[in-house]
Structure 1
Amino acid sequence: MADDDFDETPEVWDEYQWERFLQQQDRNTEKYFGLLEKYLDHPERDNIIAREMGWESHEEEEEECWEEVSEEFCDEQDSEQSEASDEDFDEFSKSPIYQDTLKLHTWINSWMDRDGTLKDEPEAIRLATRSAVCGAKLAAALCGDEYTEIGMTIAYLKRGLKAANDALDAAAKLVDLGKMTPRQRTSVNRLLFRVRDRIVDLMSEYRAEWRKRYGAS
Protein backbone atom coordinates (compact mmCIF):
# COMPACT_ATOMS: atom_id res chain seq x y z
CA MET A 1 0.00 0.00 0.00
CA ALA A 2 1.38 3.39 -0.96
CA ASP A 3 1.99 6.11 1.61
CA ASP A 4 -0.49 8.26 -0.30
CA ASP A 5 -3.26 5.91 0.83
CA PHE A 6 -2.93 7.42 4.29
CA ASP A 7 -2.65 11.08 3.31
CA GLU A 8 -6.33 11.75 3.86
CA THR A 9 -6.85 10.33 7.33
CA PRO A 10 -10.41 9.23 8.14
CA GLU A 11 -11.91 10.81 11.22
CA VAL A 12 -11.79 7.46 13.01
CA TRP A 13 -9.77 4.44 11.88
CA ASP A 14 -10.73 0.92 12.82
CA GLU A 15 -8.20 -1.71 13.90
CA TYR A 16 -7.65 -2.94 10.33
CA GLN A 17 -6.81 0.51 8.98
CA TRP A 18 -4.39 0.99 11.86
CA GLU A 19 -2.85 -2.41 11.17
CA ARG A 20 -2.23 -1.51 7.53
CA PHE A 21 -0.75 1.81 8.57
CA LEU A 22 1.60 0.19 11.11
CA GLN A 23 2.63 -2.46 8.59
CA GLN A 24 3.50 0.29 6.12
CA GLN A 25 5.53 2.03 8.79
CA ASP A 26 7.37 -1.25 9.45
CA ARG A 27 8.18 -1.59 5.75
CA ASN A 28 9.38 2.00 5.58
CA THR A 29 11.55 1.52 8.64
CA GLU A 30 13.04 -1.73 7.31
CA LYS A 31 13.75 -0.07 3.97
CA TYR A 32 15.33 2.95 5.66
CA PHE A 33 17.72 0.92 7.79
CA GLY A 34 18.59 -1.28 4.81
CA LEU A 35 19.54 1.80 2.81
CA LEU A 36 21.41 3.25 5.76
CA GLU A 37 23.50 0.09 6.04
CA LYS A 38 24.11 -0.05 2.29
CA TYR A 39 25.18 3.58 1.89
CA LEU A 40 26.66 4.16 5.35
CA ASP A 41 30.02 5.37 4.04
CA HIS A 42 28.78 6.96 0.81
CA PRO A 43 29.48 10.72 0.62
CA GLU A 44 25.99 11.34 -0.80
CA ARG A 45 24.30 9.00 1.65
CA ASP A 46 21.61 11.40 2.89
CA ASN A 47 20.55 12.48 -0.58
CA ILE A 48 20.50 8.90 -1.89
CA ILE A 49 18.39 7.66 1.02
CA ALA A 50 16.00 10.60 0.72
CA ARG A 51 15.55 9.85 -2.98
CA GLU A 52 15.07 6.10 -2.44
CA MET A 53 12.58 6.72 0.35
CA GLY A 54 10.62 9.15 -1.79
CA TRP A 55 11.30 12.08 0.48
CA GLU A 56 12.60 14.23 -2.38
CA SER A 57 10.13 16.82 -3.54
CA HIS A 58 11.80 20.18 -4.06
CA GLU A 59 15.55 20.26 -4.15
CA GLU A 60 15.76 23.48 -2.16
CA GLU A 61 13.72 21.94 0.67
CA GLU A 62 15.76 18.76 1.04
CA GLU A 63 18.44 20.11 3.30
CA GLU A 64 15.90 21.68 5.66
CA CYS A 65 13.66 18.65 6.07
CA TRP A 66 16.27 15.87 6.00
CA GLU A 67 17.44 16.12 9.59
CA GLU A 68 13.89 16.15 10.98
CA VAL A 69 12.74 13.18 8.88
CA SER A 70 15.90 11.17 9.51
CA GLU A 71 15.61 11.59 13.26
CA GLU A 72 12.00 10.46 13.16
CA PHE A 73 12.96 7.21 11.44
CA CYS A 74 15.91 6.63 13.75
CA ASP A 75 13.71 6.72 16.86
CA GLU A 76 13.37 3.46 18.77
CA GLN A 77 10.62 1.58 16.92
CA ASP A 78 9.40 -0.35 19.97
CA SER A 79 7.93 2.94 21.23
CA GLU A 80 5.65 2.77 18.17
CA GLN A 81 5.34 6.57 18.15
CA SER A 82 3.68 6.45 21.58
CA GLU A 83 3.19 9.88 23.10
CA ALA A 84 2.18 8.57 26.50
CA SER A 85 3.00 10.86 29.40
CA ASP A 86 4.78 9.78 32.56
CA GLU A 87 1.43 9.89 34.31
CA ASP A 88 -0.07 7.52 31.72
CA PHE A 89 2.79 5.07 32.18
CA ASP A 90 2.55 5.27 35.96
CA GLU A 91 -1.07 4.18 35.68
CA PHE A 92 -0.18 1.40 33.24
CA SER A 93 2.61 0.15 35.54
CA LYS A 94 0.02 -0.55 38.23
CA SER A 95 -2.12 -2.72 35.95
CA PRO A 96 -2.20 -6.54 36.28
CA ILE A 97 -0.96 -7.05 32.72
CA TYR A 98 2.11 -4.91 33.35
CA GLN A 99 2.86 -6.85 36.52
CA ASP A 100 2.60 -10.07 34.53
CA THR A 101 5.03 -8.83 31.87
CA LEU A 102 7.41 -7.71 34.62
CA LYS A 103 7.35 -11.19 36.17
CA LEU A 104 7.95 -12.68 32.72
CA HIS A 105 10.99 -10.48 32.06
CA THR A 106 12.38 -11.21 35.52
CA TRP A 107 12.02 -14.97 34.99
CA ILE A 108 13.68 -14.90 31.56
CA ASN A 109 16.56 -12.70 32.73
CA SER A 110 17.22 -14.93 35.74
CA TRP A 111 17.07 -18.06 33.58
CA MET A 112 19.56 -16.65 31.06
CA ASP A 113 21.88 -15.36 33.80
CA ARG A 114 22.20 -18.88 35.22
CA ASP A 115 23.55 -20.23 31.92
CA GLY A 116 26.03 -18.04 30.08
CA THR A 117 25.72 -20.06 26.87
CA LEU A 118 22.11 -18.93 26.40
CA LYS A 119 23.24 -15.42 25.47
CA ASP A 120 24.52 -16.88 22.18
CA GLU A 121 21.53 -19.13 21.53
CA PRO A 122 19.24 -17.62 18.83
CA GLU A 123 16.03 -19.09 20.25
CA ALA A 124 16.86 -17.85 23.76
CA ILE A 125 17.49 -14.40 22.31
CA ARG A 126 14.18 -14.63 20.43
CA LEU A 127 12.37 -15.61 23.62
CA ALA A 128 13.82 -12.62 25.46
CA THR A 129 13.35 -10.08 22.67
CA ARG A 130 9.83 -11.12 21.68
CA SER A 131 8.76 -11.04 25.33
CA ALA A 132 10.20 -7.54 25.61
CA VAL A 133 8.47 -6.50 22.38
CA CYS A 134 5.20 -7.81 23.80
CA GLY A 135 5.58 -5.51 26.80
CA ALA A 136 6.44 -2.55 24.56
CA LYS A 137 3.37 -3.08 22.37
CA LEU A 138 1.18 -3.30 25.47
CA ALA A 139 2.62 -0.03 26.74
CA ALA A 140 1.92 1.59 23.36
CA ALA A 141 -1.63 0.24 23.45
CA LEU A 142 -2.54 1.08 27.03
CA CYS A 143 -0.56 4.21 27.93
CA GLY A 144 -3.21 6.48 26.47
CA ASP A 145 -6.13 8.58 27.59
CA GLU A 146 -9.81 8.94 26.78
CA TYR A 147 -8.93 10.47 23.41
CA THR A 148 -6.78 7.54 22.26
CA GLU A 149 -8.30 5.85 19.24
CA ILE A 150 -9.78 2.45 20.00
CA GLY A 151 -8.72 1.04 16.64
CA MET A 152 -5.10 1.96 17.31
CA THR A 153 -5.25 0.37 20.76
CA ILE A 154 -6.58 -2.90 19.35
CA ALA A 155 -3.95 -2.92 16.59
CA TYR A 156 -1.17 -2.59 19.16
CA LEU A 157 -2.74 -5.30 21.33
CA LYS A 158 -2.74 -7.63 18.32
CA ARG A 159 0.97 -6.94 17.89
CA GLY A 160 1.54 -7.74 21.54
CA LEU A 161 -0.38 -10.99 21.08
CA LYS A 162 1.77 -11.97 18.11
CA ALA A 163 4.94 -11.26 20.08
CA ALA A 164 3.68 -13.46 22.94
CA ASN A 165 2.92 -16.28 20.49
CA ASP A 166 6.42 -15.94 19.02
CA ALA A 167 7.87 -16.22 22.52
CA LEU A 168 5.86 -19.40 23.15
CA ASP A 169 7.22 -20.86 19.92
CA ALA A 170 10.78 -19.98 20.95
CA ALA A 171 10.29 -21.75 24.30
CA ALA A 172 9.07 -24.90 22.52
CA LYS A 173 12.13 -24.88 20.25
CA LEU A 174 14.44 -24.41 23.25
CA VAL A 175 13.05 -27.61 24.79
CA ASP A 176 13.63 -29.45 21.50
CA LEU A 177 17.22 -28.17 21.49
CA GLY A 178 17.79 -29.31 25.07
CA LYS A 179 18.40 -25.72 26.21
CA MET A 180 15.31 -25.57 28.41
CA THR A 181 13.87 -28.27 30.62
CA PRO A 182 10.16 -29.20 30.38
CA ARG A 183 9.72 -27.84 33.89
CA GLN A 184 11.26 -24.51 32.90
CA ARG A 185 9.05 -24.40 29.85
CA THR A 186 6.00 -24.96 32.05
CA SER A 187 7.04 -22.01 34.20
CA VAL A 188 7.60 -19.59 31.31
CA ASN A 189 4.49 -20.80 29.49
CA ARG A 190 2.39 -20.12 32.57
CA LEU A 191 3.57 -16.50 32.56
CA LEU A 192 3.19 -16.12 28.79
CA PHE A 193 -0.32 -17.56 28.77
CA ARG A 194 -1.35 -15.20 31.56
CA VAL A 195 -0.19 -12.28 29.42
CA ARG A 196 -1.88 -13.73 26.32
CA ASP A 197 -5.16 -14.27 28.14
CA ARG A 198 -5.17 -10.72 29.45
CA ILE A 199 -4.47 -9.39 25.93
CA VAL A 200 -7.34 -11.41 24.47
CA ASP A 201 -9.69 -10.16 27.21
CA LEU A 202 -8.64 -6.55 26.58
CA MET A 203 -9.14 -6.94 22.83
CA SER A 204 -12.67 -8.22 23.48
CA GLU A 205 -13.39 -5.26 25.75
CA TYR A 206 -12.10 -2.69 23.28
CA ARG A 207 -13.94 -4.32 20.37
CA ALA A 208 -17.15 -4.22 22.40
CA GLU A 209 -16.53 -0.53 23.08
CA TRP A 210 -15.91 0.05 19.37
CA ARG A 211 -19.23 -1.58 18.47
CA LYS A 212 -20.93 0.49 21.14
CA ARG A 213 -19.54 3.71 19.73
CA TYR A 214 -19.46 3.07 16.00
CA GLY A 215 -21.45 -0.09 15.31
CA ALA A 216 -20.14 -3.23 13.62
CA SER A 217 -17.12 -2.77 11.34
Structure 2
Amino acid sequence: MTARPVRVLLADDHAAIRAGLRLLLDAAPDVEVVGEAADGTAAVTNARALRPDVVLMDLRMPGVDGIEATRTITAEGLAEVLVLTSFDLDEYVDGALRAGAAGFLLKSAEPSALIDAVRRVADGDGVLAPEVTRRLLAAFARGPETAPGTRATAGPAGATADGASGAPGTDPRLADLTPREVDVLAALGRGLSNQGIAADLFITEATAKTHVSRVLAKLGVSTRMQAAIVARDTGLA
Protein backbone atom coordinates (compact mmCIF):
# COMPACT_ATOMS: atom_id res chain seq x y z
CA MET A 1 0.00 0.00 0.00
CA THR A 2 1.40 3.40 -1.02
CA ALA A 3 1.95 5.82 1.86
CA ARG A 4 -0.10 9.00 1.86
CA PRO A 5 1.90 11.97 0.53
CA VAL A 6 2.97 14.75 2.87
CA ARG A 7 0.35 17.49 2.55
CA VAL A 8 1.81 21.00 2.50
CA LEU A 9 0.27 24.47 2.80
CA LEU A 10 2.35 27.34 1.38
CA ALA A 11 2.23 30.67 3.22
CA ASP A 12 4.10 33.52 1.53
CA ASP A 13 2.99 36.97 0.42
CA HIS A 14 4.79 36.72 -2.92
CA ALA A 15 2.81 34.81 -5.56
CA ALA A 16 5.94 34.06 -7.60
CA ILE A 17 7.62 32.41 -4.62
CA ARG A 18 4.53 30.33 -3.90
CA ALA A 19 4.42 29.26 -7.56
CA GLY A 20 8.08 28.24 -7.47
CA LEU A 21 7.65 26.31 -4.24
CA ARG A 22 4.56 24.54 -5.58
CA LEU A 23 6.44 23.52 -8.73
CA LEU A 24 9.35 22.22 -6.66
CA LEU A 25 7.33 20.34 -4.05
CA ASP A 26 4.78 18.85 -6.44
CA ALA A 27 7.66 17.33 -8.38
CA ALA A 28 8.46 15.15 -5.35
CA PRO A 29 6.44 11.92 -5.55
CA ASP A 30 5.62 11.88 -1.84
CA VAL A 31 4.74 15.57 -1.35
CA GLU A 32 1.49 17.32 -2.29
CA VAL A 33 0.76 21.05 -2.06
CA VAL A 34 -2.85 21.32 -0.89
CA GLY A 35 -3.23 25.08 -0.57
CA GLU A 36 -1.69 28.54 -0.46
CA ALA A 37 -1.96 31.65 1.70
CA ALA A 38 -0.73 35.21 1.10
CA ASP A 39 -0.73 36.32 4.75
CA GLY A 40 -0.86 34.97 8.29
CA THR A 41 -4.64 35.24 8.62
CA ALA A 42 -5.18 33.15 5.49
CA ALA A 43 -2.52 30.68 6.67
CA VAL A 44 -4.45 30.03 9.88
CA THR A 45 -7.81 29.87 8.09
CA ASN A 46 -6.52 27.46 5.45
CA ALA A 47 -4.71 25.33 8.02
CA ARG A 48 -7.98 24.93 9.91
CA ALA A 49 -9.84 24.01 6.73
CA LEU A 50 -7.25 21.80 5.04
CA ARG A 51 -5.40 20.26 8.01
CA PRO A 52 -2.07 19.91 6.17
CA ASP A 53 0.83 17.96 7.62
CA VAL A 54 3.23 20.89 7.22
CA VAL A 55 2.79 24.63 6.76
CA LEU A 56 5.74 26.16 4.91
CA MET A 57 5.68 29.58 6.56
CA ASP A 58 7.23 32.89 5.59
CA LEU A 59 7.70 35.28 8.52
CA ARG A 60 7.35 38.75 7.05
CA MET A 61 3.81 39.02 5.69
CA PRO A 62 1.22 41.80 5.82
CA GLY A 63 -1.30 41.91 8.64
CA VAL A 64 -0.81 38.86 10.85
CA ASP A 65 2.84 37.88 10.44
CA GLY A 66 4.29 34.40 10.20
CA ILE A 67 5.31 34.19 13.85
CA GLU A 68 1.81 34.96 15.13
CA ALA A 69 0.30 32.58 12.58
CA THR A 70 2.76 29.88 13.67
CA ARG A 71 1.78 30.40 17.30
CA THR A 72 -1.91 29.90 16.49
CA ILE A 73 -1.39 26.92 14.20
CA THR A 74 0.82 25.05 16.66
CA ALA A 75 -1.33 25.94 19.67
CA GLU A 76 -4.37 24.47 17.94
CA GLY A 77 -2.43 21.43 16.74
CA LEU A 78 -3.37 22.11 13.12
CA ALA A 79 -0.01 21.23 11.53
CA GLU A 80 3.73 21.26 11.95
CA VAL A 81 5.31 24.55 10.86
CA LEU A 82 8.51 24.80 8.85
CA VAL A 83 9.65 28.40 8.59
CA LEU A 84 11.13 29.40 5.24
CA THR A 85 12.45 32.94 5.20
CA SER A 86 15.07 35.21 3.69
CA PHE A 87 16.06 36.50 7.13
CA ASP A 88 18.10 34.69 9.78
CA LEU A 89 18.07 37.55 12.30
CA ASP A 90 18.15 36.42 15.93
CA GLU A 91 14.75 37.93 16.72
CA TYR A 92 13.15 35.93 13.92
CA VAL A 93 14.78 32.67 15.01
CA ASP A 94 13.84 33.35 18.61
CA GLY A 95 10.27 34.28 17.75
CA ALA A 96 9.75 31.27 15.50
CA LEU A 97 11.06 28.80 18.10
CA ARG A 98 9.02 30.36 20.89
CA ALA A 99 5.95 30.18 18.66
CA GLY A 100 6.44 26.44 18.18
CA ALA A 101 8.02 26.12 14.74
CA ALA A 102 9.52 22.68 14.15
CA GLY A 103 12.06 23.93 11.65
CA PHE A 104 13.74 27.05 10.31
CA LEU A 105 15.25 27.24 6.82
CA LEU A 106 16.47 30.06 4.63
CA LYS A 107 15.09 30.56 1.12
CA SER A 108 18.62 30.06 -0.15
CA ALA A 109 18.44 26.37 0.86
CA GLU A 110 19.03 23.82 -1.88
CA PRO A 111 15.81 22.32 -3.33
CA SER A 112 16.77 18.84 -2.13
CA ALA A 113 17.36 20.17 1.39
CA LEU A 114 13.95 21.84 1.41
CA ILE A 115 12.13 18.70 0.30
CA ASP A 116 14.04 16.63 2.85
CA ALA A 117 13.16 19.16 5.56
CA VAL A 118 9.46 18.95 4.70
CA ARG A 119 9.60 15.16 4.99
CA ARG A 120 11.49 15.28 8.29
CA VAL A 121 9.21 17.83 9.88
CA ALA A 122 6.14 15.83 8.80
CA ASP A 123 7.75 12.79 10.44
CA GLY A 124 8.19 14.64 13.72
CA ASP A 125 11.83 15.68 13.42
CA GLY A 126 13.20 19.20 13.82
CA VAL A 127 15.23 21.01 11.16
CA LEU A 128 17.47 24.05 11.42
CA ALA A 129 19.47 25.82 8.74
CA PRO A 130 23.22 25.35 9.31
CA GLU A 131 23.64 29.11 9.71
CA VAL A 132 21.02 29.15 12.46
CA THR A 133 22.46 26.06 14.17
CA ARG A 134 25.86 27.71 14.51
CA ARG A 135 24.35 30.77 16.17
CA LEU A 136 22.21 28.69 18.50
CA LEU A 137 25.26 26.72 19.63
CA ALA A 138 27.13 29.96 20.23
CA ALA A 139 24.20 31.26 22.27
CA PHE A 140 24.13 28.10 24.38
CA ALA A 141 27.86 28.44 24.97
CA ARG A 142 27.34 31.96 26.31
CA GLY A 143 24.73 30.77 28.80
CA PRO A 144 21.07 29.72 29.03
CA GLU A 145 19.78 33.26 29.36
CA THR A 146 21.05 34.05 25.87
CA ALA A 147 19.72 30.95 24.10
CA PRO A 148 16.72 31.55 21.83
CA GLY A 149 13.54 29.97 23.17
CA THR A 150 14.59 30.06 26.83
CA ARG A 151 13.04 32.23 29.48
CA ALA A 152 13.98 33.26 32.97
CA THR A 153 10.42 32.61 34.11
CA ALA A 154 9.11 29.44 35.70
CA GLY A 155 9.47 26.35 33.53
CA PRO A 156 7.03 23.43 33.20
CA ALA A 157 8.06 21.91 36.52
CA GLY A 158 8.25 25.23 38.35
CA ALA A 159 11.97 25.69 37.83
CA THR A 160 13.55 28.81 36.40
CA ALA A 161 16.39 29.10 33.94
CA ASP A 162 18.26 31.20 36.48
CA GLY A 163 17.62 28.67 39.23
CA ALA A 164 18.80 25.56 37.42
CA SER A 165 21.45 23.69 39.30
CA GLY A 166 23.52 23.08 36.16
CA ALA A 167 24.23 19.47 37.17
CA PRO A 168 22.89 17.00 34.58
CA GLY A 169 19.88 15.07 35.83
CA THR A 170 19.28 17.21 38.96
CA ASP A 171 17.19 20.01 37.46
CA PRO A 172 13.57 19.94 38.71
CA ARG A 173 12.32 20.06 35.13
CA LEU A 174 13.66 16.52 34.69
CA ALA A 175 11.96 15.13 37.79
CA ASP A 176 9.08 13.49 35.92
CA LEU A 177 11.26 11.85 33.26
CA THR A 178 12.25 8.20 33.42
CA PRO A 179 15.96 7.37 32.95
CA ARG A 180 15.25 6.34 29.36
CA GLU A 181 13.40 9.60 28.71
CA VAL A 182 16.38 11.53 30.10
CA ASP A 183 18.54 9.68 27.57
CA VAL A 184 16.12 10.66 24.81
CA LEU A 185 16.12 14.29 25.93
CA ALA A 186 19.93 14.30 25.88
CA ALA A 187 19.82 12.93 22.34
CA LEU A 188 17.39 15.69 21.33
CA GLY A 189 19.87 18.17 22.77
CA ARG A 190 22.48 16.77 20.40
CA GLY A 191 20.12 17.35 17.48
CA LEU A 192 19.46 13.68 16.69
CA SER A 193 16.51 12.65 14.54
CA ASN A 194 14.20 9.79 15.54
CA GLN A 195 16.35 7.49 13.44
CA GLY A 196 19.49 8.79 15.15
CA ILE A 197 17.97 8.35 18.60
CA ALA A 198 16.95 4.80 17.74
CA ALA A 199 20.47 3.92 16.62
CA ASP A 200 22.08 5.67 19.59
CA LEU A 201 19.87 3.96 22.20
CA PHE A 202 19.46 0.61 20.41
CA ILE A 203 15.68 0.90 20.15
CA THR A 204 13.28 0.92 17.23
CA GLU A 205 12.44 4.15 15.45
CA ALA A 206 8.79 3.77 16.48
CA THR A 207 9.83 3.45 20.14
CA ALA A 208 12.06 6.51 19.78
CA LYS A 209 9.14 8.50 18.39
CA THR A 210 6.95 7.43 21.32
CA HIS A 211 9.62 8.44 23.83
CA VAL A 212 10.03 11.82 22.15
CA SER A 213 6.28 12.46 22.37
CA ARG A 214 6.27 11.61 26.07
CA VAL A 215 9.29 13.82 26.75
CA LEU A 216 7.62 16.78 25.05
CA ALA A 217 4.42 16.24 27.02
CA LYS A 218 6.19 15.95 30.37
CA LEU A 219 8.30 19.04 29.75
CA GLY A 220 5.28 21.03 28.63
CA VAL A 221 6.87 22.00 25.31
CA SER A 222 5.50 21.59 21.81
CA THR A 223 8.56 21.02 19.63
CA ARG A 224 11.79 19.05 19.58
CA MET A 225 13.73 22.30 19.36
CA GLN A 226 12.21 23.56 22.60
CA ALA A 227 13.05 20.24 24.24
CA ALA A 228 16.62 20.52 22.93
CA ILE A 229 16.88 23.92 24.57
CA VAL A 230 15.80 22.38 27.89
CA ALA A 231 18.40 19.63 27.42
CA ARG A 232 21.18 22.15 26.94
CA ASP A 233 19.88 24.44 29.69
CA THR A 234 19.90 21.56 32.18
CA GLY A 235 23.36 20.31 31.23
CA LEU A 236 22.31 17.14 29.41
CA ALA A 237 23.84 18.20 26.10
Q: Same fold (TM over 0.5)?
A: no
Coarse TM-score class (shorter-chain normalised): under 0.3
Structure having greater relative contact order (Cα 8 Å, sep ≥ 6): 1
**Greater per-residue strand proportion:** 2
Q: TM-score, normalised by structure 2?
A: 0.24
Larger radius of gyration: 1
- Structure 1 length-normalised TM: 0.26
Higher helix share: 1
